[in-house]
Amino acid sequence: NAGVTQTPKFQVLKTGQSMTLQCAQDMNHEYMSWYRQDPGMGLRLIHYSVGAGITDQGEVPNGYNVSRSTTEDFPLRLLSAAPSQTSVYFCASSYSWTGTSGYTFGSGTRLTVV
Amino acid sequence: QQQVKQSPQSLIVQKGGISIINCAYENTAFDYFPWYQQFPGKGPALLIAIRPDVSEKKEGRFTISFNKSAKQFSLHIMDSQPGDSATYFCAAKGGSGGGADGLTFGKGTHLIIQP
């Protein structure tokens, strides 16, 4: 039972480069989301999905794209990396977006943009 | 606009003492209040959660106290142990998006338990 798997664990990008952060879950969870964690800022929601084919923006969506073609995968794309996107990124999933379903987080991707 | 305010930012407690972390929220539509524990290099993990229809929930050494009228909730860690040293986040769900717009997190409390 792998839970939520994020790859890569670490990444260094140059300003202007693009990349995709991968997230996969094997729990058949309906809901998936991406958060970024910055010192003193807590976790802020970037994008979320309530099911395959359905995505929406969170609190800080600018500079990021997502898609959800399968229940299992929810990749996060950085279109043109900027130093302000240096952060730790967490993917989380939940059985349902309603009610009190707990979130399962991945172990994170630490991204540095130089 | 910060919808969940968490305090203190950092906390040092002696082994065996009680650790108390407080959170306050503004959105009365919130209906689910979890606490997450995060160790360095790891993702947050659900510790304990409460709904607003109860005033207290206890799981082992961890207790959530909830005051709906004051829009405040707190985490109490009894008999704190060095292994409890971590960052703790309070969160809330159920705002305008009904929960689809995810958890709103506090900024976190870095807890150190001194042996």
DSSP secondary structure string, chain B? --SEEEE-SEEEEETTS-EEEEEEE--TT--BEEEEEE-TTS--EEEEEE-TT-SEEEETTEEEEEETTTTEEEEEESS--GGG-EEEEEEEB-STTTTTT-PEE---EEEEEE-
Find residue A40's DSSP bridge partners.
none
Chain A, nearest residue to B40 by Cα: A107
- Residue owning tokens 């510790």: B47
Interchain pair B99, A98: CB under 8 A: yes
pLDDT at B1 over 60: no
Judged by a CB distance cut-off of 8 A, whether residue B89 touches chain A is yes
SS3 letters across A36-63 = EEECCCEEEEEEEEEECCEEEECCCCCC
Chain A partners within 8 Å of B5 (Cβ): none
Interface contacts (A, B; CB < 8 Å): 65
User: Can you give the pLDDT at residue B92?
Assistant: 92
Banded pLDDT at B31 (limits 50, 70, 90): confident
Over residues A89-108, the pLDDT tens digits come to 999 999 887 767 789 999 99
Contact (CB<8Å) A40/B9: yes
Q: Quick one: average pLDDT of B33-44?
A: 95
Q: What is the mean pLDDT of residues B105-109?
A: 95
* Mean pLDDT, residues A57-81: 96
Q: Are A45 and A74 a contacting pair, CB within 8 Å?
A: no
Is residue B40 less than 8 Å (CB to CB) from chain A? no
Q: pLDDT value at position B99?
A: 62
pLDDT band at residue B96 under the 50/70/90 scheme: low
Residue B13: CB atoms within 10 Å:
18
| Residue B18: Cβ within 10 Å count | 13
Beta bridge partners of B105: B91
In a mutagenesis test of the A interface, which of B50, B57, B103 is the best target, namely the one with the most A β-carbons within 10 Å?
A: B103
**pLDDT given at position B45:** 95
- A-chain residues within 8 Å CB-CB of B44? 43, 90, 103, 105
B 3-22 residues with CB < 8 A to A = 6, 9
Distance, in angstroms, between A90 CA and closest chain B CA? 7
